[in-house]
Structure 1
Amino acid sequence: MIAGRFPENFLWGTATAAHQVEGGNRGNDWWAWEQVPGHIKNADTSERACEQYGRYASDFDLLRSLNQNAHRLSVEWSRIEPAPGEFSKAALAHYRDVLQALRDRGMEPMVTLHHFTNPTWIAKSGGWDTPQTAEYFARYAERVTDELGDLTTLWITINEPTVIAYQGYVRGEWPPGTRNLGAAARVL
């Protein structure tokens, strides 16, 4: 940066997390967590969220009107792989459309593969505290990068892994709600 100016190719943007903005996502551990009384203040849920799953184009128009040239978003694992080894063509097509919508607006997509949520089937099998979850995640990541890799060059594997370990396995305030330092260490 010279004399208070950002480089011409600097990426200006915002970020979202699929579960927090898309709405209607009932296939992950956070959805299940939200349904338990006392877990979420005021019993709020992500049922509707910001409804970005269906309104991403108008949302991206707003971002572009703010002169943003990049957007970081996550793709929801539970939508893409709702059951072990079963990949949803519809979900992958949806995320292709989302990334293309960013490209069409001159915005650089940055894709996060995991932003705090696990498919319910992962949670039921022990989540990140079991070795096979890393293998499942690798399979998922490979499929997503194969399907969407032509639309982005910027990837984040796991958003804030230390926060997942701390909130979910030390404090027990996020899924899976465990208070176990050994589990937290294994998760990291």
Structure 2
Amino acid sequence: MPQLLPGFLWGAATAPHQVEGNNVNSDWWALEQQMPGMQRSGDAIDSYHRYAEDMRLLAEAGLNTYRFGIEWARVEPSPGHFSLAELAHYRRMIDTALELGLTPVITLHHFTHPRWFAEAGGWMGDQAVERFRAYVRKVTGILTRPASPGRSPPTAITGNCA
């Protein structure tokens, strides 16, 4: 592989709903169950449980970056209820990436929403901005602390909105 310029990010990206599987609290999961002929995500590729193996393959392929998302519907399955277990899961993903020499680039929103958010009107709902702000505040708590002394937090945070 040719030498990359210092600081060049060479990586891969995934979207949580598409790879994690069993995202039962999301609006897309609900939609998949209702629309005839729509492909259901089901277990997807089970990256929720296999993320360490997936990241190891990226590192072995010579990549230095992995962009992955934090699934809002998992982190906040009902309004104002934040799952500490899910926050810890995503922190473990960040730590694993760092341990493997991958720069984690975090996506906070990738098209799917918690079911309750969609039912309240999605981005057009009266509380949309406040609800998303609360989610972002909670999630950035796990993003901004280093994994261990000398380790840096993720270098970028992204969002993909429809």
TM over 0.5: yes
Q: Secondary structure at the residue paired with 2:49? A: helix
Contact 1:33 1:39 (C-alpha < 8 Å) held by counterparts: no
Segments of 5+ residues of structure 2 without an aligned counterpart are: 146-152
2:52 is matched with: 57
1:16 maps to which of 14, 17, 25 = 14
Give the RMSD, CA atoms, in angstroms: 1.5
Could you list the structure 1 runs, at least 4 aligned residues long, displaced by more than 6 angstroms after superposition: none
Change (3 A) 1:55 1:107: same
1:29 is matched with: 27
2:150 is matched with: none
* Structure with the greater alpha carbon radius of gyration: 1
More helix by share: 1
Tell me if 1:82 matches 2:88: no
Answer 1 or 2: higher relative contact order, Cα 8 Å, separation at least 6.
Answer: 2
Hey, what's the Cα distance between the residues in 1 that align with 2:143 and 2:82?
A: 13
Segments of 5+ residues of structure 1 without an aligned counterpart are: 165-188
1:100 is matched with: 95
Q: Secondary structure at the residue paired with 1:79? A: helix
Q: What whole-Å deviation, never above 9, does each CA across 1:112-150 have from its counterpart, x for those lacking one?
A: 100011001101111111231111001100110012222
Q: Secondary structure at the residue paired with 1:9? A: coil
User: In the alignment, residue 21 of structure 2 is paired with which amino acid?
Assistant: G
Change (3 A) 1:12 1:38: same
Hey, what's the Cα distance between the residues in 2 that align with 1:39 and 1:112?
A: 29
Hey, what's the Cα distance between the residues in 2 that align with 1:58 and 1:84?
A: 33
Change (3 A) 1:5 1:147: closer
Tell me if 1:67 matches 2:62: yes
Q: Secondary structure at the residue paired with 1:111? A: strand
Q: What whole-Å deviation, never above 9, does each CA across 1:60-119 have from its counterpart, x for those lacking one?
A: 111011101001000000110111111100000000101100000010000010001100
1:154 maps to which of 153, 156, 161 = 156
Percent identity over the alignment is 44
How many residues end up aligned between the 2 structures? 154
Distance apart, 1:5 and its partner CA: 6.7
Query: TM-score scaled to structure 2, two decimals?
Result: 0.90
Distance apart, 1:24 and its partner CA: 1.1
Q: What whole-Å deviation, never above 9, does each CA across 1:28-76 have from its counterpart, x for those lacking one?
A: 1000110113362xxx211110100000011111101110100100000
